Amino acid sequence: MLRKTLFIVTFLISLFGFSQKYSFTYVYTFKPDSLNLDKTETELMGLFIDKNGSTYFSLTKVKRDSAIAQSRNSDGISSNMPVSLNTFPQGKVRGIIRKDWRSNEVISYLSVNADRFKIIQHLTFNWQIGTETAVIQGKKCQLATVEYKGRKYNVWFTNEIPISDGPYKFGGLPGLIVKIEDTKKQHIWELKGIEKFRNIKLNLSAYIPVTESQYKKAVEDYIRDPMSRMRELKRTYGVISLTSTLPDGTSYSDAEYEKMRTKKIQESFKENNNSIELY
């Protein structure tokens, strides 16, 4: 009994110490279009651990937000340093996921057009831990499987890093997830880097709580009419007509621009239909 108690205490001390000092980088490889499975995208994702939980999001967002911050002075006013969208793109993965270990909440921060939403969930994964082991990224890992939102996953975790967490919403195993992939290999995360902890600053105060169904309806409404917000703003400010000119010099009338943007946005959603969660 004493030995078991000492193990638990040592584990908790190790967990606390490790989580104070490190963040993890994953390569996320995914197939965005279920009708074109030859197309593959990748994104570097960060899992930042603190004493109360973790925060997961695209590292492209970190670079972009840092560049925008540097382009502004202390009053928040833009300086003369431009931020190129080509050099600092939006990234392929937009959302932010926060796990709060104290309340056992998984909070997804998501945007639809200019609206910002947060969805709070209490998730329990029904992990099936097997006996198979493998060495991945120099870590001895053990296999586990799970089903979540219409997909089956094979997951490799290591108790060499005593953090019960992983990329996206996944967590709850007796060690860090090193690799996870669905059985169709359409969504794959693999640990690529471990760094000393760096503080991150995210302003999430503008996100309003909604249910999953409310969020899905907002997405459906946006796909159906992507330009409704622009028309609303024009009515608010009394704008009757304007000409839009793109960086390449192409000019559009109101009607032409709305038609062009609607088509582009709707096509983008059609080409990004293979989400992690199938329902």
- The predicted structure's pLDDT at residue 142: 98
pLDDT, greater one: 4 or 108: 108
- The predicted structure's pLDDT at residue 254: 82
Q: Could you give the domains of the chain?
A: 2-55+95-196 (2.50.20), 225-271 (no CATH)
Distance CA 224, CA 220 (A): 6
Note whether 163 and 49 are within 8 A (CB): yes
Which DSSP symbol is given to 115?
E
Which pLDDT tens digit goes with each residue over 129-185? 999 999 999 999 999 999 999 999 999 999 999 999 999 999 999 999 999 999 999
Those residues with Cβ within 8 angstroms of residue 219's Cβ, 6 or more apart along the chain or in another chain: 112
Which pLDDT tens digit goes with each residue over 43-76? 999 999 998 999 999 998 666 555 555 555 555 5
Q: What is the pTM of this model?
A: 0.82
Distance CA 51, CA 117 (A): 25
Of the candidates 87, 83, 107, the residue with the CA atom closest to the CA atom of residue 95: 107
Residue where the block lists tokens 């279009």? 33
Both tokens of residue 192?
A: 């690529």
Which pLDDT tens digit goes with each residue over 199-211? 778 899 999 999 9
Those residues with Cβ within 8 angstroms of residue 133's Cβ, 6 or more apart along the chain or in another chain: 140, 141, 142, 143
Distance CA 140, CA 154 (A): 16
- For 239-249, b/e burial (b = at least 16 CB within 10 A) is eeeeeeeeeee
- Report residue 81: phi and psi, to 5°: -85, 110
